Amino acid sequence: MSDREARRVFVMERVVKGQLTVRQGARLLNLGERQVKRLNASIYGPARGPTWSGART
């Protein structure tokens, strides 16, 4: 996992736990609020557990 991916996971975990708002997470990641919501759905999915997809090993 790259530093960028690790930072995204760290920030997204804080957003999911309620320690940060979506807006604050977006600002920390230099993304839009909508992108943070999409990133959250792609990482955590409906089960709320990490479900990385693709060829990441």
Joined together, the tokens standing for residue 40 give 């959250």
**For range 16-38, the mean pLDDT:** 93
Structure pTM? 0.69
Question: What pLDDT, on a 0 to 100 scale, did the predictor assign at position 43?
Answer: 77
User: Is 5 in contact with 54 (CB distance < 8 Å)?
Assistant: no
Question: What pLDDT, on a 0 to 100 scale, did the predictor assign at position 47?
Answer: 56
**Amino acid at the residue 37:** K
| 31-38 CB contacts, 8 Å cutoff, 24+ apart | 36/12
